Every structure is written in C-alpha cells, then in structure tokens.
A = this chain, B = another copy of it.
C-alpha cells in the first residue's frame, strides 16, 4: 500500500521524517487498503534505505498515535475500533447503538444497558409539577423560552450546583440543554474546526467521540490508571497538539468506573492552566455514590473558568425529559449561545418550567436517596456475585457507585468471543472495544451493568457467565489490567 512513496536523499529533511510524513498523509487521507503496515525490513528494501530509517519513522508515527505495534504480529494503523456502520435504529444508549448490540437485548438478560429503571422515575411528583405549570402559566408555558433556558430554572440550577456540588455559577453562567449529548454537540460546534486534535480518555464514551468526530476532529485517546487520565501521556500530547479542549469524566468514568483522585484532579487543572485548554467535564453519575463519601465534580475545584461542566439527568432522573445543562465560561459564552440557537432555538420551555418547579418543591434530595438505595442493593448483589467468579481469573474495581462494573477478562478470553457466547446463551453484555479509541487492549474488557435487571436476573446472568468462564483455563492476565 505504500508503493507510491518516494524519498529524496537530496532534501534537507531527514529521510525518516520524509517517510513519517508520507505515511501520515496516507493515513490521514484514509487512503489505505490494509490496517497493517509493511514490515520494517520489507519497507526499507522497497525504498532503498536503512532499516533504522523505517524504525525511526514508525517510532514517530507511534508517538503521534497514528500506528501501534503488536509484538510478534506487526505494526497497525490506529482506528476507532467501534464500527459506526453497525448503526441501528433503536432507542437507548449511545454505546449500545454504536456497537450494534441492541438486537441481542430483545430476549436477553440485560447486563448491557445503563438506562435507568422506569419504576424509579418520580412520576407522581413530576406530574404535579407538569400540571401546576399549566395552571400557573397557561399559554406562556409554550412560548419560546430564552435561548439559554427558562430564567427561573437557571436560578434553580445555580442553587442546585451550590448545594450539591459546592459549585458557584450564576444563572447567567448556565445554559439549559436538551440533554447531556446536546452539550457535547454544542461544544463541538463552538470549538472544533476540522482537523483539530481533541484529547479524550481511552476508553471513553462513544457518544462524545461521535460528536467530536462529526465536526472533523482528530481524536487521540490517552490511557488511564486508577487515579484518572495518565498525566505524563496527557502532558506530552498537550504539548505537541495544544488542543482547545480535552474531554473527561472525572467521577464514575464510563466505562472504567474510575473516580479521579484529588491529586490527579489538581494536576489536570494545573495543566489546563499552564497550556490554556478547556476541560469538558461530562457528569452523569456523580450523584450516585454508594459510600458515605460524597463525590464532587472537577468543576468544584475550577478557579480559572477552565472547566465546562456538562450535566446529564438521563441516568439519575428520567431520560425522556431531555433536560440537562452546561456551564458557560466567560470567553465562550457568546459563541456557545449562538451554537445552541442554531441547533434547536431552545429546549422545551414547558419541560423546563416543570423541572424548575420539581426542583423548587424540594423533591430532588429524596429522589436521589431513593434511587441510590435501590441501585446500591443491585450493586452489592453484582459485586458479591462477581467475587465468586474471581478465581476464574476475572478482575475489576469496586467503584462504589454508578451503574456498572468494568471487568478485565482472564488471559485466554477474548471479549468479543465472550460477548457472542453470552449472546447465544441469552445474556447481553458490552464488549470493551465499543469504548476504545483504538484497538490496543480493548479485547480484554467487558462492561456489566445492573441498572436494567432484577435481582433474579443478576443471579441468572452471573450464572451464565460462570458457566462460560468455568469451561476454560483460569489464568488471569496481569498484562491486561491497567486499571487494577
């Protein structure tokens, strides 16, 4: 595939740089027939150069995240590993959508979806608000609200931020969005020019990936450890690309469930200040902590207006309301509001009014306590069940919150094969590759969620998993447990 490349020994530019640039262009132009690059020896021979020229070119390409090497197998082009061609017209979670897992759910035990359970929706309380708004506001409730959102709701959110997260933001620093995903879309519109490099955690939420990519961003995944994003890697990419923003989920990160340590939070904020980039903090689960310790967002520590806090209520309230919000940094306020307007004029004024009333009536705290207690039980059931499977070689963090567990598989297991075998036996799980920006290591993880299953189903599902695991060798792989 690289047969057209010609290097020029008379040029000032070193040969390995010339080669690096030529291959990079091929990759960026998407002009590739194979994911695998020629071997060092064969490419050197073809080009009439020393092996070391190719070695150096490949090294540079690897550093810049264009390629990766699998020992014994060869060198490959990095690509987002989830196939967006498998796109299906179904309701629900972005990651399931992108991975094409949905058909499986129909008659399966659902360890795949992180959709909340409708029986936990506070329908009675919200209904009161919905009706009261109609009686109170009449036709006004259905006029266009302000682009930034219904004023009183922005006030309520301002108080909500202070009360629950110790975040100070005035109502004018808040934009109501039609859900968290719209926040990502609006940020993409505001900040991304085609070709821009955006840094994300790897693995990450594919819905963010898709939003950034739809604006032509080049996305680079930064590995994580148990305290959050790898700071050295982050720094090296930040230095090289000077991104406008990076995208993080500091609490109950999806899919790894990791919560950032205080130190890592501070380090990331310091880096943002030093290299002048924004941090998009995507928060959809901070509120769902099963321990006594209350989690706080990264935004709480943001002194210099560098964190854009995007809040989704889909998992902790009700997805069908489609109301979320984001904070507005001063320097971007005008551009973000304009992007919101171009996107959908404004979010439903009626639902904004009802949600405002719901918050003002003080229903929120009870609701969160209610769902936390409920999910805590399921979580503990899941964790104690998984505990019994540990001797088969699986491992996982105990997140102490959220809606799922990120499981590292025994050495001889491949996540896709396991996913397929589970599927055949009536259990839907999510293979890790859905979340990775490249394919390195992604085959060793699965995500097991407990938000959409009954206690009985948790028992049954873990039984299926046990059955499959027990039929193989039980050798855990330390190589593949970067998060443990």
Give the Cβ gap from A150 to chain B, nearest Cβ, in Å: 9
Which residues on B sit within 8 Å (CB–CB) of A48?
none
Which residues on B sit within 8 Å (CB–CB) of A67?
none
- For this chain, the copies found in one complex come to 2
Is A65 interfacial (CB-CB < 8 Å)? no
Q: Which of A331-365 contact B (CB under 8 A)?
A: 334, 337-339, 341-351
**Residues B346 and A322 in contact, CB atoms below 8 Å apart:** yes
Which residues on B sit within 8 Å (CB–CB) of A94?
341, 345
Contact among B138, B207, B337, B339 for A342, CB-based, below 8 A: B207
Q: How far is the CA of A92 from the CA of B92 in the complex (A)?
A: 31
Q: How far is the CA of A472 from the CA of B127 in the complex (A)?
A: 59
Please, what's the 1-or-0 string for A309-347, where 1 marks a CB less than 8 Å from any CB in chain B?
000001000111110000000000010011101111111
**Residues B139 and A119 in contact, CB atoms below 8 Å apart:** yes
**Residues A344 and B182 in contact, CB atoms below 8 Å apart:** yes
**Residues B142 and A337 in contact, CB atoms below 8 Å apart:** no
Q: Which of A139-165 contact B (CB under 8 A)?
A: 139-148
Give the Cβ gap from A396 to chain B, nearest Cβ, in Å: 27
Is A484 interfacial (CB-CB < 8 Å)? no
Which residues on B sit within 8 Å (CB–CB) of A141?
123, 320
**Residues B123 and A139 in contact, CB atoms below 8 Å apart:** yes
Is A130 interfacial (CB-CB < 8 Å)? yes
In this complex, the member of A131, A207, A320, A347 whose beta carbon has the largest number of chain B beta carbons within 10 angstroms is A320
Is A43 interfacial (CB-CB < 8 Å)? no
Q: How far is the CA of A190 from the CA of B142 in the complex (A)?
A: 30
A319's closest neighbor in chain B, by CB? B144
A351's closest neighbor in chain B, by CB? B348
Q: How far is the CA of A10 from the CA of B342 in the complex (A)?
A: 48
Is A231 interfacial (CB-CB < 8 Å)? no
**Residues B142 and A91 in contact, CB atoms below 8 Å apart:** no
Which residues on B sit within 8 Å (CB–CB) of A140?
118
Is A89 interfacial (CB-CB < 8 Å)? yes
Q: How far is the CA of A178 from the CA of B90 in the complex (A)?
A: 18
Which residues on B sit within 8 Å (CB–CB) of A148?
89
Which residues on B sit within 8 Å (CB–CB) of A127?
131, 134
Contact among B89, B131, B207, B320 for A348, CB-based, below 8 A: B320
Which residues on B sit within 8 Å (CB–CB) of A120?
139
Which residues on B sit within 8 Å (CB–CB) of A134?
123, 127, 130
Which residues on B sit within 8 Å (CB–CB) of A115?
143-144
**Residues B344 and A181 in contact, CB atoms below 8 Å apart:** yes
Which residues on B sit within 8 Å (CB–CB) of A319?
142-144, 345, 349
A116's closest neighbor in chain B, by CB? B143
Which residues on B sit within 8 Å (CB–CB) of A185?
342-344
**Residues B342 and A144 in contact, CB atoms below 8 Å apart:** no
Which residues on B sit within 8 Å (CB–CB) of A211?
342
Which residues on B sit within 8 Å (CB–CB) of A91?
143-147, 346
Contact among B90, B121, B126 for A146, CB-based, below 8 A: B90
Is A47 interfacial (CB-CB < 8 Å)? no
In this complex, the member of A119, A143, A178, A344 whose beta carbon has the largest number of chain B beta carbons within 10 angstroms is A344
Q: Given A90-B146, A91-B146, A123-B138, 10 more contacts at CB 8 Å?
A: A91-B144, A97-B147, A118-B138, A123-B141, A126-B142, A127-B131, A139-B318, A144-B314, A177-B344, A321-B350
Nearest first, the 3 A-B pairs at minimum CB distance are: A118-B139, A320-B349, A142-B318
The 19 sampled A-B contact pairs (Cβ below 8 Å) are A87-B338, A89-B146, A90-B147, A91-B145, A92-B144, A115-B144, A118-B138, A123-B134, A123-B138, A123-B142, A130-B131, A185-B344, A194-B194, A194-B216, A207-B342, A207-B345, A210-B342, A319-B349, A320-B348
